[in-house]
Every structure is written in structure tokens, then in C-alpha cells.
Structure 1
Amino acid sequence: MTQALDIDAHPTTGEAVRYMHIFFDIGGHNGAASNYIAFFEVAGQGEAAPPFEFKRQWGMDLHFAMGLADHDALSIWRKRLLDKGLEVEGPIDHGVISSIYFHDPNGYRLEFAAQNGPQIEQFTNDSQRSHAILRSWVERGL
């Protein structure tokens, strides 16, 4: 685990929702920077969550993020998606990265993200606190 974040608001809508966002380094290739896979756990959903259906989904716990080289690539993808008639949210500045969001035909929320600054340094600094954040989340039973 590279990073764990305990967050209390939806990053797109600002809706009050408590969630854990966990990142794992899955490595790079050909000397490139690391890639990450990230997961969400939304507090209090458990058995109260509706059964899964292939339709447009709420993106907090069902989305896949892909990193891009830079903000130019993010702009190119945004235009490409809009030109294809897709709804695109963003770019949204998350501090470390900026992201655009859209849905695939199965309803999954997809994200393209570009670094805003020294992301590796941010992840390195946060990784030292991540296990404590995750432990606190589990102990509270959210």
C-alpha cells in the first residue's frame, strides 16, 4: 500500500460521504514512473448498498483511473471524448492530480488523471502515514 486517505466529501459533487481511498503501486515499465491501482470503501454501505446492475453507476466505488503523461494529454482526451458525444466532468483539481471523468457503455465511471506537481514525493510522504490511517478506519468500523 502506497497511500490511504480518509475523506469526508465526494470530490466531484462535494456531497457529504465518508470514504477510504487506498492506493497500491503496481510498478512502471521501461523505466517509467510507477503506476497505481486504487480502491474505495464507502462508509456505511455494506449490506445497505443496492444490488449491482450494469447501468450508469455512482463512481465512488466503481471507477477505474488511468494516468496520463501531462495536462496536454488530459485536454486531448477531454476533447476526444466530448467529440464522441460523451458527458465529461472536469478537469477537477484534486491537489496532486487533475482528473476528467466519464462513463463507459456498461456504466462504469472512468478517470483520466494528470499530475499537478511532484506526485511521487506526495505519495512517498503520505505512505508513511497510510497504515495508521487505514488501521483507524478499520477500528472505527465505518
Structure 2
Amino acid sequence: MRSLKKKRRIQIILVAAVALVLSTALIGYAMRDGINFFRSPSEVMAAPPAPGEVFRIGGLVEAGTLVRGAGSEIRFAVTDGGASVPVSYVGVLPDLFDEDQGMVGLGSYDGTTFRATEILAKHDETYMPKEVVDALKEQGVYQAPDAD
């Protein structure tokens, strides 16, 4: 009689372990595309990511590079003071998007141009994403906003 209870316990433990491993694997598989790493333009130029790898890039929109193409295509360069990466985006830009302003873009790098699928801009005069501030500080070009 004891051996039957012991076998049942072992079976339950094995089924629970298999379920735990399977659920962990499924969660990891589901999240693989949802994790987007942040890179500064200097990091992209120093160690270009693999083609098709989706990541976020951030910095300042370089002055004089904002060009609106045919249709809704927009081209500009993003810089952190150390390097500049050309960006191509098809879509509507946020209202506060402008040259010499902070931005973060989501997309992939094809070896020459960052192809953005989403562009985020600052939401007021003083906000800049933490990753962008950190990257600009590393390059020594960050200037804190003036306090009124």
C-alpha cells in the first residue's frame, strides 16, 4: 500500500516539474521579441547589431538633417555627440519632434541606416528619456535644462 502512495507522489512531482519547465520555456519564447535593448549612436557605430535585430536608439536629432521625403517618409540623423546614425521613418512624427531635441526610435539597423518603426519624442521642454541622458553624459555633451 505504501509503494502505491509513493509512486503517486513521484508522478505528481514529475508532472509538476515538467509543467514548470514547459511554462518557463513558453514564457521565454513569448518574450524574446518583446525585449528591446537601448543603444546610443556611438554604440551602434562601434559594434553594429545584426541585420534585423530590433532595438531602441536614442539621442538628439542632428541639426540640419531633417528631410521630409515623398509621401510620409522622413529622414534625419540621430547623434549623441560622438557619432551620428542616419534614420529613415515612414509615418507621422510626434508633434514635439524637432531638430536638436531628444528622441528614441524603435527599429533595426541595416548596416547604413536605422529603419525606425516607431519614433518617440520628448513630451515637454525638460523631459528626455533616461537612456538618452545617460548616453549624452557619457559623450560629455549633455546640458541640464535650465531651471526657471
TM-score, normalization by structure 2: 0.30
More helix by share: 2
Report the structure number with the largest CA radius of gyration.
2
Quick one: higher RCO (CA 8 Å, sep 6+), 1 or 2?
Answer: 1
TM-score, normalization by structure 1: 0.31
